[in-house]
């Protein structure tokens, strides 16, 4: 983030809970991060850690029984949490766009691709249909789709998963948003296309100053793409820092376990390792550190809820016994 | 597609053949039309001559054979009662039934779909629960009872609407219709609502179930993430998806509405084919009953074909399968 400049998005202690019949699911329960212009933030965590819910919270798309119950979401300095539906709708798809996790499900099966792209433009701009069509066509080419005219006339079921995801990415780009939230957008794509999309994403951020939140399981992707990493566990941010800091010297025992004990540049390219034990159920989570039952460094102190410690080097960690504590003690 | 249509038509011919046989012999077993048609003061000779004229003195299989031969030439026989071609009798009354059926379909769609979508979008709201409770009533109350209640309340007690007949009709494309005159429209309203209630309840339930399912889909959330208005999300993204099951079921039901408007037509003395059927069964007017059933089956087949075609227009995924096959 450029010093002194206001970040595009600042999330402060976000809490999003689902009030289900079985009890309260604290899907997001204390997450803070910031992304500036042209910056890429990797949001990493295992399945169910609350990454997608964080993304939906930013867009104001959490449906009942879910609700944002605490924290602030500052978009260019304005808090989105109390914002009315009309104002929020004007931002969605225009200033903040999201690419969903499952490309097979994100396009409406009964509407043609041109309809689904053109409506996204017309919802925000007073332009002619023809102009919107041209814009859609141009954007499809930008994400590497050949013969866009033919594609625009097709229905989603005529596309492969990878092709659909590229259409979804193109839709996110249509209105040149200030912030894109990409929820595992490359998982369904093959390696070459993945690389191409990542390259395009990075280029886009650098050129247009779009801020990008890239949600993923895959450290390979984050290592090559992101500037900063935010690691989530059980709805909380447990560790944050630059890519080099977090990957080379993980502080939180969870991150440490994911990356493996030997810090090395070669580790970039490794997928997250399996950590023994189960992700705790977010339903009626017991107090204390949520990672306790799986943590090799757990002590009696961990019965209490750890708070975030700010480090001098701009890093943040939520742990009583971070990995470098022995060294410094 | 055309192969599919031809196969469909051949199947239907088989159905019509089997059905005509069942009806022909079935009506014969139920009773002897001569007993009903011949008046008491006829002499034995007169009755014999009457029977011979109708061809009823021949063995039943021979009668059937002549019936088939004539039917292939488009002659479904003459009514015993009216001494007119059975087909003509039915075609004369078909417009009244079609008008009633289409009017009730129209009502069930334009009222049922909005109510169903509303209830599907707000499943917890009190108004939605009222809608769903009413739809259960619409399902379970017998049509003839509701019809009689309508007549009692709106025609007898309040005197707002007439209770019998079609009222004034005007000609539209060579067909007599009621809905273009004020008087005809008034006559149409009660029977149309009566016949629509069941269908409307069905549409409400289908639309609600569809909406609840579709509203949770990622593509609806994605549509919202694009910043579309709630109106566009509901009217385009949700509605287009729920129309698929609604059109299918309604199309199939249209055949049913036409065939079984019998009850409503009888209650409201609506001069359609349903009423003709009931009268003909009572008088054992075999040619009319057989002709009615054949026409009804033909209509069923035609409607199902149209539904299949509509279905492929609504759902692009079906279209692809057709191309492949
Ligand atoms: N509508 C809902 N009702 C109840 N709980 C929900 C609902 N939506 C999400 N959750 C819960 O919120 C938690 C976080 O879900 P989320 O989808 O954000 O995980 P994720 O990190 O994106 O995982 P994945 O990598 O599998 O996509 C999960 O435990 C899930 O059960
Ligand atoms: S707070 Fe305790 S249990 Fe939690 S990660 Fe740190 S050491 Fe492990
Ligand atoms: Mg997710």
Cross-chain Cβ contact B240/A120 below 8 Å: no
Chain A residues with CB inside 8 Å of B240's CB?
108, 110-111
- What spacing in Å lies between the alpha carbon of A45 and ligand 1's midpoint? 12
pLDDT of residue B58: 76
> Can you give chain A as a three-state secondary structure string?
CCCCCCCCEEEEEEEEEEEECCEEEEEEEEEEEEECCCCEEEEECCCCCCHHHHHHHHHCCCCCCEEEEEEEEEECCEECCCCCHHHHHHHECCCEEEECCCHHHHCCCCCCHHHHHHHHHHCCCCCCHHHHHHHHHHHHHHCCCCCHHHHHCCCHHHCCHHHHHHHHHHHHHCCCCCEEEEECCCCCCCHHHHHHHHHHHHHHHHHHCCEEEEEECCHHHHHHHCCEEEEEECCEEEEEEEHHHHHHCCCCHHHHHHHCCCCCHHHECECCCCCCCCCCCCECCCCCCCCHHHCCCCCHHHHCCCCCEECCCCCEECCCCCCCHHHHC
The span from the CA of B115 to the CA of A34, in Å, is 44
As beta bridge partners, residue A41 has A213, A228
Report the 10 Å Cβ neighbour count for B324: 5
The span from the CA of A287 to the CA of A242, in Å, is 29
The span from the CA of A4 to the CA of B299, in Å, is 76
Record the pTM: 0.80
- B109: tokens are 């769609």
| Chain B touched by A176 (CB under 8 Å) | no
Tell me the mean pLDDT in the region A80-98.
92
Nearest ligand to residue A47 Cα: 1
Option in B217, B218, B228 nearest A123 (CB): B228
CA R_g for chain B? 24
- What spacing in Å lies between the alpha carbon of A51 and ligand 1's midpoint? 8
Of A65, A181, A59, the closest CA to residue B224 belongs to A59
Query: Which of A235, A236, A253 should be mutated for ligand 2, with most atoms under 8 A from CB?
Result: A253
Residue at token pair 């039901």 = B253
| Chain B touched by A181 (CB under 8 Å) | no
pLDDT of residue A277: 72
Of A229, A248, A227, the closest CA to residue A237 belongs to A229
Question: Which atom of ligand 1 is found nearest the CA of A51?
Answer: 21
Q: Tell whether the torsion through CA atoms of A271, A273, A279 and A282 is positive or negative.
A: negative
Question: Which atom of ligand 1 is found nearest the CA of A281?
Answer: 29
Cβ–Cβ < 8 Å for A12, A199: no
Option in B228, B244, B314 nearest A119 (CB): B228
Query: Among all residues of chain B, which has the CA nearest to that of A177?
Result: B226
| Chain A touched by B321 (CB under 8 Å) | no
Q: Angle between the B86-121 and B239-259 helix axes, to the nearest 10 degrees?
A: 150
Mean confidence (pLDDT) of chain A = 86
Q: Which CATH architecture has domain B86-143+196-324?
A: Orthogonal Bundle (1.10)
ipTM above 0.85, yes or no: yes
What are the b/e assignments for B36-72, b being 16+ CB within 10 Å?
ebeeeeeeeeeeeebbeebebeeeeeebbeebeeebe
Nearest ligand to residue A45 Cα: 1
Cβ–Cβ < 8 Å for A6, A76: yes
What is A9-95+177-328's CATH number? 3.40.50.300
| Chain A touched by B315 (CB under 8 Å) | yes
- Residue A148 Cβ contacting ligand 1 at under 6 Å: no
- What spacing in Å lies between the alpha carbon of A44 and ligand 3's midpoint? 10
CA distance A89 to chain B (A): 5
Of B173, B241, B189, B188, the closest CA to residue B212 belongs to B241
Q: Which of A119, A132, A171 to mutate to test the interface with B (most CBs of B within 10 A)?
A: A119
| Chain B touched by A109 (CB under 8 Å) | yes
Cross-chain Cβ contact A92/B225 below 8 Å: yes
Asked if pLDDT for residue A328 goes beyond 60, the answer is no
Give the tens place of pLDDT for each residue, B159-192: 787 777 777 777 777 677 777 777 777 888 889 9
Please give the share of chain B, as a percent, with pLDDT higher than 70. Answer: 91
Cross-chain Cβ contact A61/B221 below 8 Å: yes
Q: Which of A35-44, A246-255, A259-268 has the lowest mean pLDDT?
A: A259-268
pLDDT of residue A2: 47
Cβ–Cβ < 8 Å for B283, B37: yes
Domain boundaries, chain A: 9-95+177-328, 106-174
pLDDT of residue B324: 42
Cβ–Cβ < 8 Å for B79, B285: yes
Terminal alpha carbon distance of chain A:
31
The span from the CA of A55 to the CA of A43, in Å, is 10
Q: Tell whether the torsion through CA atoms of B128, B129, B134 and B137 is positive or negative.
A: positive
Measured by CA distance, the residue closest to atom 3 of ligand 1 is A18
Q: What are phi and psi of A92, to 5 degrees?
A: -60, 130
Q: Which of A129-138, A265-274, B41-50, B142-151 has the lowest mean pLDDT?
A: A265-274
How far is C-alpha B70 from the chain's CA centre?
27
Instruction: Find the helix or strand (DSSP H, E) in which B172 lies.
Output: strand B170-172
CA distance B117 to chain A (A): 18
Asked if pLDDT for residue A75 goes beyond 80, the answer is yes
Option in B218, B225, B240 nearest A59 (CB): B225
Measured by CA distance, the residue closest to atom 4 of ligand 2 is A289
Report the SS3 class of residue B54: helix
pLDDT of residue A97: 94
Report the SS3 class of residue B177: strand
Give the tens place of pLDDT for each residue, B10-24: 877 787 788 778 877
Query: Which of A19, A21, A23, A27 should be mutated for ligand 1, with most atoms under 8 A from CB?
Result: A27
Give the range with max mean pLDDT: A77-91, A195-209, B41-55, B276-290: A77-91
Mean confidence (pLDDT) of chain B = 82
The span from the CA of B252 to the CA of B206, in Å, is 14
Domain boundaries, chain B: 86-143+196-324
Cβ–Cβ < 8 Å for B288, B86: yes
The span from the CA of A145 to the CA of A147, in Å, is 7
Please give the share of chain B, as a percent, with pLDDT higher than 90. Answer: 19
The span from the CA of B57 to the CA of B60, in Å, is 9
Query: Among all residues of chain A, which has the CA nearest to that of B317?
Result: A157
Cross-chain Cβ contact B223/A89 below 8 Å: no
CA distance A324 to chain B (A): 42
Cross-chain Cβ contact A98/B227 below 8 Å: no
Alpha helix ranges (H) inside B141-238 = 143-150, 182-215, 218-225, 230-232
- A127: tokens are 């332009």
Terminal alpha carbon distance of chain B:
9
Of A13, A15, A21, the closest CA to residue A65 belongs to A21
Region of A75 on the Ramachandran plot (φ > 0 left; ψ -120 to 50 alpha; else beta): beta
The span from the CA of B21 to the CA of B27, in Å, is 10
Report the 10 Å Cβ neighbour count for A149: 10
- B266: tokens are 């009888």
Q: Which of A117-131, A216-230, B220-234 has the lowest mean pLDDT?
A: A216-230
- A183: tokens are 């929820």
pLDDT band with cut points at 50, 70 and 90 for residue B322: very low
Option in B220, B226, B314 nearest A93 (CB): B226
| Chain B touched by A97 (CB under 8 Å) | yes
Query: Among all residues of chain A, which has the CA nearest to that of B315?
Result: A110
Query: Among all residues of chain B, which has the CA nearest to that of A62?
Result: B221
pLDDT of residue A202: 82
CA distance B316 to chain A (A): 6
CA distance B102 to chain A (A): 27
Asked if pLDDT for residue B86 goes beyond 70, the answer is yes
- Please give all residues whose beta carbon lies within 6 A of any atom in ligand 2, as ranges: A 253, 289, 291-292, 295, 297-298, 302, 306, 319-321
Question: How do strand A236-242 and strand A96-99 relate by DSSP bridges?
Answer: unpaired
Cβ–Cβ < 8 Å for B265, B191: yes
Cross-chain Cβ contact A120/B227 below 8 Å: yes
Query: Which of A20, A47, A53, A62 should be mutated for ligand 1, with most atoms under 8 A from CB?
Result: A53
The span from the CA of B149 to the CA of B151, in Å, is 5
The burial class, CB within 10 Å (0-12 / 13-18 / 19+), for B278 is: middle
CB-based contacts of A294: which residues, under 8 Å, 6+ apart?
A: A254, A257, A275, A276, A277, A278
pLDDT of residue B162: 79
Of B320, B203, B204, the closest CA to residue B251 belongs to B203
Q: Which of residues 213-242 of B touch A (CB under 8 A)?
A: 217-230, 232, 236-237, 240-241
């Amino acid at each position: 983030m450029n010093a002194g400049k206001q970040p595009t998005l600042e999330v402060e202690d976000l809490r999003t809970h689902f009030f289900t019949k079985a009890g309260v699911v604290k899907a997001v329960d204390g997450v803070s991060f910031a992304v500036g212009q042209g910056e890429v933030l990797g949001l990493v965590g295992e399945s169910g850690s609350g990454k997608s819910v964080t993304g939906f919270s930013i867009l104001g798309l959490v449906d009942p029984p879910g609700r944002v119950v605490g924290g602030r979401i500052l978009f260019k300095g304005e808090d989105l949490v109390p914002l009315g539906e009309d104002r929020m709708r004007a931002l969605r798809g225009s200033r903040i766009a999201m690419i969903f996790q499952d490309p097979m499900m994100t396009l409406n099966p009964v509407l043609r691709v041109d309809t689904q792209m053109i409506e996204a433009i017309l919802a925000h701009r007073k332009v002619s249909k023809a102009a919107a069509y041209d814009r859609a066509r141009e954007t499809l080419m930008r994400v590497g789709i050949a013969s866009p005219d033919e594609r625009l006339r097709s229905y989603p079921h005529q596309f492969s998963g990878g092709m659909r995801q590229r259409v979804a990415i193109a839709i996110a780009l249509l209105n040149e948003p200030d912030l894109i939230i990409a929820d595992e957008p490359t998982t369904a794509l093959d390696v070459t296309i993945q690389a191409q999309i990542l390259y395009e994403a990075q280029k886009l951020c650098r050129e247009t100053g779009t801020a990008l939140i890239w949600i993923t399981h895959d450290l390979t992707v984050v290592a090559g793409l992101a500037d900063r990493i935010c690691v989530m566990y059980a709805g909380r941010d447990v560790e944050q820092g630059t890519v080099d800091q977090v990957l080379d010297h993980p502080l939180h025992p969870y991150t440490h376990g994911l990356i493996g004990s030997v810090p090395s540049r070669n580790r970039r390219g490794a997928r997250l390792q399996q950590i023994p034990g189960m992700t705790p159920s977010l339903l009626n989570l017991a107090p204390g550190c949520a990672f306790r039952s799986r943590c090799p460094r757990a002590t009696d102190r961990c019965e209490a809820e750890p708070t975030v410690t700010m480090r001098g080097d701009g890093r943040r960690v939520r742990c009583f016994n971070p990995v470098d504590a022995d060294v410094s003690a | 597609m055309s192969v599919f249509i031809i196969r469909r038509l051949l199947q239907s011919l088989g159905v019509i053949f089997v059905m005509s046989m069942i009806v022909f012999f079935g009506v014969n077993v139920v009773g002897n039309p001569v007993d009903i048609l011949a008046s008491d003061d006829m002499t034995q000779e007169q009755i014999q001559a009457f029977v011979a004229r109708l061809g009823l003195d021949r063995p039943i299989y021979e009668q059937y054979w002549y019936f088939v031969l004539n039917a292939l030439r488009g002659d479904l026989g003459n009514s015993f009662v009216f001494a007119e071609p059975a087909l003509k009798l039915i075609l004369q009354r078909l417009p009244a039934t079609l008008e009633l059926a289409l009017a009730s379909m129209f009502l069930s769609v334009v009222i049922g779909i909005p109510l169903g979508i509303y209830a599907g979008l707000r499943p917890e709201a009190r108004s939605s629960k009222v809608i769903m409770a009413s739809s259960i009533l619409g399902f379970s109350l017998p049509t003839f009872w509701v019809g009689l209640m309508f007549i009692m309340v709106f025609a007898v007690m309040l005197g707002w609407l007439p209770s019998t007949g079609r009222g004034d009709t005007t000609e539209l494309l060579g067909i007599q219709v009621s809905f273009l005159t004020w008087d005809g429209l008034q006559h149409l309203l009660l029977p149309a609502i009566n016949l629509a209630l069941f269908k409307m309840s069905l549409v409400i339930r289908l639309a609600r179930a569809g909406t609840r399912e579709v509203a949770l889909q990622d593509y609806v959330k994605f549509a919202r993430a694009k910043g579309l208005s709630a109106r566009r999300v509901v009217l385009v993204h949700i509605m287009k998806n729920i129309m698929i099951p609604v059109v299918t079921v309604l199309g199939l039901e249209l055949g049913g509405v036409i065939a079984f408007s019998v009850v409503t037509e009888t209650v409201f003395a609506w001069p359609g084919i349903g009423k003709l059927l009931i009268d003909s069964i009572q008088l054992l007017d075999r040619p009319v009953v057989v002709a009615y059933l054949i026409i009804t089956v033909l209509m069923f087949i035609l409607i199902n074909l149209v539904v299949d075609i509509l279905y492929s227009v609504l759902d692009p995924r079906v279209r692809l399968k057709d191309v492949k096959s």
